[in-house]
Chains A and B, each alone.
Chain A
């Protein structure tokens, strides 16, 4: 009996380890200081964005340099929900995802007219247009931006319970809530991508990535696939944007649509860690965080180091750090490949 399987022993072990890590992560605010929670919030949200960009570029072949448009629109929609409609910020984050979805439709319609490298800069232009349009929105502060009103930030869903539970102040309770939401989001996004890649859609994606024409000839609808991937990534990026700016409680077009923060770092994370793998962004975000901690006092040296590191990785280890580890050990913690298993074939090798 031969079977087609994706499961591996390492994969099963990873699933258990990840489940344990999530439980620890949920309980962490009980013991960890506020600064650690904030650092983890940074790591988790960047990891979410990196996994999404990796889905686009590493699996979908869509190299977008305009994902900051969805972070920004998600953040602004969240602010609009709170300030103009009086919603609770946590609910308004969902509104951010919806706004990103609505933006993604015309965005993709225009961007998909461009191929390859031109798609990359096209998305960048579209993100700039979005930023300039949002900067015209005077009720939300125009070019200078605005803050979440105090009554909204102190009454976020669930912060009362957290205050009582951990005996912390308002601002710290908001950080803990944001951290939990970030944890939920990163697990949902990574888990979702993992599931996606193991599903029929993932098989189609891999086929398109390897050879577009061949994939089309066996019946993969490449156009629809690109749309699906782009919309999924946009919605989740919008949710992340809403969450990030709920935590900072202050917004401006330059911050919400920052190319450096929401796309450059994200690209570096994926490239350094290893593009086209789920493990890569995890390693990449840890490298980014370590560099940030080490070079915090040196200003622009931080970004320069990242840039040089990314170039070096692309030149000498195009599959990133995880690619190096994986090639040496044959390890796949999140297996997505289909393998044939069964009794050894006689006479074969």
Chain B
């Protein structure tokens, strides 16, 4: 029973990692850009929600609805003003720019909000749990997982059923040819990054409600997100969810054996997948 419980907790934790990863997966799928500041942007969004909740007195959900368009704007501006200038055949400039952004953002948050760890108050949700017969699960982890599934269903619907999604896929396949068909790749990229940042806001809400956070935790979230994307295979959003679940289960199983091994077990699972299937479990896009 205890093992089943560990397994279920791991799967639900995987939902959180999939939320961290969905935006990264989206951006990489469309423009082959790895945003090293992704984790710090999650933390940034978490502070944005925190400000909404504590200073403006909004409920976390309302704060999310207010913060998401703001983050969309941040992503749109970031892509239009900075990242579009450095995208190209050479992968070095975008990597270094986002690395610079990561360090800048981390220290900017440190300067603004201090190193104290904070938490988004979630009211009665915090300790609530549901008895599912065999196992009891927390409401918050369950909500996280369901949100991850909802985000992925939503993104997939956008990708395969809308004109914008068609533009995304066309640009992903061949930006030049897409340009010939009247699509402006740079504008598509800006919308994609904006969308990724809106997803990041959802991830940030759960990051902030489930545990304490401080300005320095971004890079670790980026690593989990990245591992989920790689395990899942490039360009597959459901693969990203599977990747998140694998990391989550590995971490809870590792922690059940020895609390010191939690993080390590997640990384080891990633390395094992890398050894066995270097292109991930469900690769879709060709790198």
Where the two chains meet, the residues of A that have a C-beta atom closer than 8 Å to any C-beta of B are: 57, 63, 65, 110, 113-118, 120-122, 124-126, 128-129, 132-133, 136, 259-260, 264, 267-268, 271, 275, 299-301, 303-304, 306-311, 314-315, 318
A63 touches B95 (CB 8 A): yes
20 A-B Cβ contacts within 8 A? A57-B92, A63-B91, A113-B274, A117-B95, A118-B34, A118-B230, A121-B223, A125-B267, A125-B270, A128-B263, A128-B267, A129-B267, A129-B271, A132-B267, A271-B100, A299-B110, A300-B107, A307-B105, A309-B100, A315-B85
Q: Name the contact of B271 in the complex, choosing from A110, A120, A271, A300 (C-beta under 8 A).
A: A110
Interface membership of B57, Cβ < 8 A: no
Is B103 in the interface zone, CB < 8 Å from A? Answer: yes
Whether the Cβ atoms of A114 and B92 lie closer than 8 Å is no
C-beta contact mask, B216-242 vs A, less than 8 Å → 1, else 0?
000100110011001000000000000
Inter-chain contact B86/A315, CB cutoff 8 Å: yes
Once bound together, how far apart are the Cα atoms of A309 and B99, in whole Å?
12
Q: Is the CB of B267 within 8 A of A307?
A: no
Does A307 lie within 8 Å of B104, measured CB to CB?
yes
Give the Cβ gap from B81 to chain A, nearest Cβ, in Å. Answer: 9
What separation, in Å, do the CA atoms of A104 and B213 have in the docked complex?
33
Chain B residues near A260 (CB, 8 Å)?
Answer: 103
B34 x A310 contact (CB < 8 A) = no
Rounded to whole angstroms, the CA-CA distance of A110 and B287 in the bound complex is: 18
B227 contacts A307, CB within 8 Å?
no
* CB-based contact B107/A307 at 8 Å: yes
In Å, the complex CA distance between A156 and B111 comes to: 42
Contact of B101 among A299, A301, A307 (CB under 8 A): A307
Chain B residue contacts of A120, Cβ below 8 A: 34, 36, 95
Instruction: Give the residues in chain A near B82, CB-CB below 8 Å.
Output: 311, 315
Q: Mark B71-82, 1 if CB is under 8 A from A, else 0.
A: 000000000001
Q: Which 5 A-B pairs have the closest CB atoms?
A: A307-B104, A117-B34, A300-B107, A310-B100, A307-B103
Complex interface: chain A residues within 8 A of B96 (CB): 267, 271, 310, 314
Query: Is B132 part of the binding interface, using a Cβ–Cβ cutoff of 8 Å?
Result: no
A306 and B91: CB pair below 8 A?
no
Assess whether B139 is interfacial by the CB under 8 Å rule. Answer: no
Q: How large is the interface on B (under 10, 10 to 19, 20 to 34, 35 or more residues)?
A: 35 or more
User: Closest CB-CB distance, B110 to chain A, in whole Å?
Assistant: 5
* 12 more CB-based (< 8 A) A-B contacts, given A117-B32, A125-B267: A113-B274, A120-B34, A120-B95, A121-B226, A125-B270, A132-B263, A136-B260, A260-B103, A299-B110, A310-B99, A311-B97, A314-B97
**B residues less than 8 Å from A113 (CB atoms):** 274-275, 278
A303 to B107, CA, bound (A): 7
Contact in complex: B104, A311 (CB < 8 Å): yes
Smallest CB gap from B260: residue in A: A136
Give Cα distance in the complex from A220 to B101, angstroms. 36
Q: Which of B104, B223, B274, B278 contacts A128 (CB 8 A)?
A: B223
| Contacting pair A318 B267 (CB below 8 A) | no
Give the shortest distance, in Å, between B43 (CB) and chain A (any CB): 14
A121 CA / B263 CA spacing, docked (Å): 16
- Chain A's nearest CB lies how many Å from the CB of B88? 10
User: DSSP class of A's interface residues: helix, strand, loop or mixed?
Assistant: helix
- Within the assembled complex, what's the spacing in Å between the Cα atoms of A121 and B231? 13
Which of B97, B104, B108, B219 is in CB contact (< 8 Å) with A315?
B97
Of all chain A residues, which has the CB nearest B229? A118
Chain A residues within an 8 Å CB radius of B36: 65, 120-121
**Chain B residues positioned under 8 Å from A267 (CB to CB):** 96, 99
Tell whether, in the assembled complex, residue A121 and residue B104 are in contact, meaning their CB atoms are under 8 Å apart. Answer: no
Chain A residues with Cβ under 8 A from B33's Cβ?
117
Chain B: minimal CB distance from A104 (Å):
16
Q: Is the CB of A121 within 8 A of B34?
A: yes
Smallest beta-carbon distance B216→chain A, Å: 10
A275 engages B34 (CB within 8 Å): no
A117-B91 contact in complex given A300-B107, A303-B107, C-beta closer than 8 Å? yes
User: B92–A132 contact, CB under 8 A?
Assistant: no
B222 to chain A, nearest CB (A): 7
Q: Is the CB of A304 within 8 A of B107?
A: yes
Q: Closest chain A residue to B111 by CB distance? A: A300
How close is B257's CB to chain A, nearest CB, in angstroms? Answer: 13
> Which of B95, B219, B264 is packed against the most chain A CB atoms within 10 Å?
B95
**A307 to B263 Cα, complex, angstroms:** 28
The answer to whether B274 and A122 have CB atoms under 8 Å apart is yes
* B263 (CB) vs chain A CBs: closest residue: A132
Query: Which residues of B lie under 8 Å from residue A311 when comparing CB positions?
Result: 82, 97, 100-101, 104
Interface flag for B125 (CB, 8 Å):
no
User: Is the CB of B93 closer than 8 A to any CB of chain A?
Assistant: yes
The distance in angstroms between the C-alpha atoms of A122 and B227, with both chains bound, is 9
Contacts of A268 in B (CB 8 A): 100
B268 within 8 A of A: yes
Bound CA span A65–B85, Å: 23
Residues on the A chain within 8 Å of B103, using CB: 260, 264, 303-304, 306-307, 310
Given the complex, which residues of B lie within 8 Å of A132, measured CB to CB? 263-264, 267
